[in-house]
Amino acid sequence: MNKKRLPVCVTMVCMSLFCACTQVPSLSLSGLNPASFKAEKDGQQTALFILKNDQGMEVCVTNFGGRVVSIMVPDKAGTLRDVVLGFDNVNDYMQIPSDFGASIGRYANRIDQGRFTLEGTDYELPKNNFGHCLHGGPNGWQYKVYEMENLTRESVTLVMHSPDGDESFPGNVTARVTYTVTPDNALEIAYQATTDKPTVINMTNHSYFNLSGNPANSILDHILYVNAQYFTPVGRTLIPTGQMAPVAGTPMDFTVPEAIGKDIDSTGHEQISFGNGFDHNWVLDTRGDRNVVAATLISPVSGIKLDVYTGEPGLQVYSGNFLDGTVTGKKGIVYQKRAAVCLETQHYPDSPNRSEWPSTALRPGETYTSHCTYKFSTITN
């Protein structure tokens, strides 16, 4: 061998090895492989976006459904834990019906019998939940691909172009959701939408939280505070009755922090029986002030604390009542009943049929905006 050519050969081999390595996507801190989120649906490409701050917090988002796939935050010992449920590949999100982490649209929560009237026109929507329209219908935005518009280390903006008649909703709507990881370990979610025809819109994030970091545990020991003295009672099919009832003296009272499991099986209480636990809208006392805590959730096991801030008038608390052990999520963990709790900032359910409640109507020339902050910290006791 020509010794003068040896360094060149070694260099070429090293370069080849380097190139091969750089083509292999690195795993997220939560163990997700970006390659497992590459697919095509309806001619659009899906992907995984990894957001980070300088404190070590990491949030993974996929543009399929605009979903939060993982949130890694430190526990009281400083160990990073993934605190949301989900799947470790996009195919499961596509094939297994779920709302895990989704950006819900056009209308979060339920619309009675899938019907509403807006400016004299009657609309009939798909019925996918007890004869009602839930979360925008069976083909809501959580099952569609958002377009990635902007990506930085800390933030991603996703866009949904929803045509007139999408799930029978009126108007061509362009909606944006921006996920931002802040320096103080918060996930900020900002929504915007415009339309060319009067319509209704009510977006939310549907992350399933288990702050213990292990969804094999239930959330019954999680401590919950909700800044609300009233909630909106529902009938047997979970449509609001139109009343606003006081939480005092009921299992719905979280004005003083309580364990979620304390009264969750009070089947003698009509509302608990109807919801199979908590699946209700609380009327927030925050008056739209995003600097006032709307809700707080704490895991006594991990010491992780979640404070929720929003300008929305309502908060849907859903205690994972319909998880039933038939779905296997990340790390091969089977999701049992009450493996998580959702804290969905929103307008009230069925608002299009309740003129006395804050309106969800959006008209041409207007811009819908909504904001939610999930801020994480730890407690030592």
Residues with active-site annotation: 206, 344
Closest alpha carbon to 193 in 375, 358, 371, 43: 371
Q: How many CB atoms lie within 10 A of CB 163?
A: 9
For the chain, first and last CA: distance in Å?
A: 69
- Using DSSP, how many helices (H) and how many strands (E) does the chain show? 3, 30
CB 201 within 8 A of CB 193: yes
CB 294 within 8 A of CB 371: no
Q: Which two tokens stand for residue 343?
A: 């804290």
CB 293 within 8 A of CB 287: no
Helix (H, G, I), strand (E, B) or coil at 160: strand
Closest alpha carbon to 84 in 140, 151, 28, 155: 28
Q: How many CB atoms lie within 10 A of CB 80?
A: 16
Alpha-carbon span 97 to 118, nearest angstrom:
30
Q: Which two tokens stand for residue 151?
A: 């990506």
CB 335 within 8 A of CB 328: yes
* Cα 47 to the center of its chain, rounded Å: 18
Q: Which two tokens stand for residue 76?
A: 């009281």
